Structure 1
Amino acid sequence: MTSKLNTINASVTPTQREVNQFDALAEVWWDDTGVMWPLHKLNQLRVPFISDAIHRHFRCSSLAELTILDIGCGAGLLSEAMARLGAAVTGVDPAPRNIAMAKRHAKAEHLPIEYLEGDINEVKGRAFDVVLNMEVIEHVDDLSGFMQACNAVVAPGGLHIVATLNRNLKSLVVAIVGAEYVLGWLPKGTHQWRQFVKPKELRSFLTDAGLSVLSEAGVAVNPFNRAYRITQNTSVNYMMVAERRA
């Protein structure tokens, strides 16, 4: 498992421009009424989606015996939610101010989360029951190398759950023109359309590494009440659950 991962270099890290952009948001990450409100709203949807997938797959009533890796954890929004459900959580992020904020917030909430500053290489040689790769891959230039490294740390019988944006005309209009420039929901420049990933491409990255895709789901948002919901339409935001065979 570790031999492939050891060949991955710094190109699996999000670009420095992206790191700096998210690092600058560290102090407002936990403000659900500020610029990070979309992430807070999205978290209300993805936490039950993730926990349901875990419960079904492992046939468990609790996450207490499971190890979870949160890649690109930011200031810890999803990491804390998983920790509150009982999992042993490790979060990794290349933005130093985000990690510092995540550590402070977890300490204040008395949550024993392991936070590491850096990229996926920080956990090379380790294996996790669940790897969460949420809204990260569209910020990485070397997607093949990044996915190789992420797949390598999924334990046998474990899950790799990925969330990202589809690459098509609709996603350009909705996720960039609409969300960043018209509605102003996201800071301009948050996303680069060329880095969006088609579902068939993501499936290939997973299956080529020996994982099996178990399910897919789209994510839609109502622009009037800002509510997110699960849908079968994967034309913009979508999530994918894959298993590494035991």
Structure 2
Amino acid sequence: MNKDDAELARFNALARDFWDPKGPMKPLHMLNPLRIDWIENQYGSLVDAEVLDIGCGGGLAAEAMAARGAVVTGLDGADKLLKAAQLHADDHQIQVDYQLGMAEDWAAANPGRYELVTCLEMLEHVPDPESVIAAISHALAPGGTAVLSTLNRTARGFLLGIVAAEYLLKWVEPGTHTYRKFIKPSELAEMCRRHGLEIKAVTGVRLNPLRALQPQPFELTQNDLAVNYFMSVRKPL
């Protein structure tokens, strides 16, 4: 099974406070508007789009896409996080189909079903990220788009993604990330190509130090992929 039980336990422990914008998932709350805008920029209108959100966690991206009109399936291996996601969606009357399971199994049962697949801040938490990429390709309909995001294995990725985020700014719990699991854009692109996916666009996410204490300290940049980055890919017709 392509899962890390210690990682799942760590994320399940965050379930109670997942939706607190000042809590342990604060960076994702800050980043979420940027990433949803970029997803829509890459795919087009989300209205009535059938979307699979792999590694949906507590549902930040899944809810946001559903709120923009998408028909969303949220898939994750952390049962307590999914319960938090479902409770939040119910409280806000947002419809998301949350499912407990693995990407590989879900894709095998739903081949070619989805117009859009997202996998955000998840690939660096599994033992075999390429297995997830293969599942994404299998789940995508011909002509469909996938949007991926992860952390780059660079010195700056280590300093900002681990040292600063976990120990200096205390945005996330220490131990959340493991540097050797970070993925270079070239590595991710090659994984995608091996599974029949074409690269559409890549953009970086940069912390603007002048806005570090503001509600939205992040900005997108095509010229700096050294820390976080987004990649969109397409399954050919």
The TM-score bracket by the shorter chain reads: over 0.9
Deviations 1:33-53, CA, capped at 9 Å, x for gaps: 222211100102101111111
For these two proteins, the number of residue pairs brought into alignment is 229
Deviations 1:141-185, CA, capped at 9 Å, x for gaps: 112222212221111100111000111111111111111122211
Q: Name the counterpart of 1:142.
A: 128
Q: Which of residues 204, 219, 233 is equivalent to 1:242? A: 233
Deviations 1:20-39, CA, capped at 9 Å, x for gaps: 01111111111112222111
Q: Name the counterpart of 2:181.
A: 195
Q: Secondary structure at the match of 2:173?
A: coil
1:42 and 1:238 map into 2 onto residues whose CA distance is 12
Q: How much is the aligned-residue C-alpha RMSD, in angstroms?
A: 1.2
1:75 and 1:39 map into 2 onto residues whose CA distance is 11
Unaligned runs of 5+ in 2: none
2:206 and 2:135 map into 1 onto residues whose CA distance is 29
Q: Name the counterpart of 1:58.
A: none
Q: Name the counterpart of 1:7.
A: none
Shift of 1:122: 3.0
The more displaced of 230-239 and 101-110 is 101-110
TM-score if structure 2 supplies the norm length? 0.93
Q: Secondary structure at the match of 1:74?
A: coil
Q: Runs in 1 of length 4+ with deviation above 6 angstroms?
A: none
Q: Name the counterpart of 1:3.
A: none
Q: Name the counterpart of 1:110.
A: 93
1:39 and 1:139 map into 2 onto residues whose CA distance is 15
Contact 1:67 1:129 in 2 (8 A): yes
Question: Do structure 1's residue 50 and structure 2's residue 39 form an aligned pair?
Answer: yes
Identity score, percent: 38
1:53 and 1:66 map into 2 onto residues whose CA distance is 13
Unaligned runs of 5+ in 1: 1-9, 56-61
Q: Secondary structure at the match of 1:124?
A: helix
Q: Name the counterpart of 1:131.
A: 117
Contact 1:116 1:122 in 2 (8 A): no
Pair 115,67 (structure 1): closer, same or farther in 2 beyond 3 Å: same
1:215 and 1:113 map into 2 onto residues whose CA distance is 27
Q: Name the counterpart of 2:14.
A: 25
2:41 and 2:156 map into 1 onto residues whose CA distance is 29
Shift of 1:124: 2.5
Q: How does 1:151-170 map to 2 (within 5 A)?
A: 151-170=137-156
Q: Secondary structure at the match of 2:34?
A: helix
TM-score if structure 1 supplies the norm length? 0.90
